[in-house]
Amino acid sequence: MSDSDRNPDLDVAASIEARRSTKDFLPDPIDSSCLDQILHLTTEAPSSWNLQPWRIIVVDDPDSRARLHEACFRQRQVLEAPVTIVFAVDIDAWQRDMEPIIEQAQKTGAWPDDYCDIARKAIPGGQTALESSGRLREYAMKDAMIAATHCVLAATSFGLKTTFMNGWREQAVKQVIGASARDEIAIAVLVVMGHADRTLPHPGRLPRSQTVFRQRLGDG
């Protein structure tokens, strides 16, 4: 099955097992309908109050990729992969987006009328409280990371490889995406994506006894 087919090759469990951070990419482009499907599945991610603060920028032209490569401390996967997706957040967007989001959920019947009334009060209250405690950015980041995870697993399901990336200079990335003068925009994570030339072995994980607990966090 080619990556342009609508049906993914791998289900969620198989995609989780198959995902491996990849630095060695072939120059082959990603089929545009496949990329479109991946972006659709990415924006199917849930978010707090469905506010969708992510702003997702697909960087695939040679000049932008070269500038992004510089912004990412010249990590070679950014030059090799045909696509890098920048997951940014707009921490002010909720003010504009809240009402259309509530109206849409009301129209589809997902949110009953009384819940919509609650949302109209609770969202500004919650967001303002987060802003005054300096956590609005952090909360938007949570949503963007969930979207990025959807993206990576969707891409894996179509046979593509990815790498999440934290190694970049925020201001330089903002410059590449045309947001250098916008203080309300922050960068959450970058995802490089393409066809793998070589996939590294699984690097291993800590024993689950060290990281997963029942009821109470262990001492270890």
- Closer to ligand FMN by Cβ: residue 119 or 173: 173
- Closer to ligand FMN by Cβ: residue 19 or 119: 19
Sign of the torsion formed by the C-alpha atoms of 124, 125, 128 and 134: negative
- Closer to ligand FMN by Cβ: residue 130 or 187: 187
Site size toward ligand FMN, by CB under 6 A: 11
Q: How far is the CB of 17 from ligand FMN (least distance, A)?
A: 10
Query: Is residue 169 classed as helix, strand or coil in its secondary structure?
Result: coil
Q: Map the footprint of ligand FMN across residues 10-69, applying CB under 6 A.
A: 20-21, 23
In the list 9, 10, 164, 197, the residue contacting ligand FMN (rule: CB under 6 A) is 164
DSSP H helices in 89-218: 93-108, 113-132, 136-157, 170-176, 208-211
Residue 139 CB partners (closer than 8 Å, separation 6+): 48, 130
Does 115 bind ligand FMN (CB under 6 A)? Our answer is no
Residue 150 CB partners (closer than 8 Å, separation 6+): 41, 42, 44, 45
- Closer to ligand FMN by Cβ: residue 71 or 177: 71
Q: Strand 161-165 relative to strand 196-198: parallel, antiparallel, unpaired?
A: unpaired
Count of H helices and E strands in the chain?
Answer: 9, 6
In the list 29, 167, 178, 218, the residue contacting ligand FMN (rule: CB under 6 A) is 167
In the list 75, 84, 156, 157, the residue contacting ligand FMN (rule: CB under 6 A) is 75
Per CB under 6 A, the segment of 2-10, 58-66, 131-139, 160-168 that binds ligand FMN is: 160-168
Measured in whole angstroms, the distance separating CA 86 from the mean position of its chain's CA atoms is 8
Does 163 bind ligand FMN (CB under 6 A)? Our answer is yes
- Closer to ligand FMN by Cβ: residue 76 or 120: 76
- Closer to ligand FMN by Cβ: residue 102 or 148: 148
In the list 56, 153, 189, 191, the residue contacting ligand FMN (rule: CB under 6 A) is 189
Question: How far lies 16's CA from each of 11, 13, 19, 81, 161, in Å?
Answer: 9, 5, 5, 21, 12
Which residues partner with 185 through β-bridges? 90
Does 166 bind ligand FMN (CB under 6 A)? Our answer is yes
- 133-158: string of b/e by CB count within 10 Å (b at 16+)? eeebeebbbebbbbbbbbbbbbbbbb
Binding site for ligand FMN (CB under 6 A): 20-21, 23, 75, 163-167, 189, 203
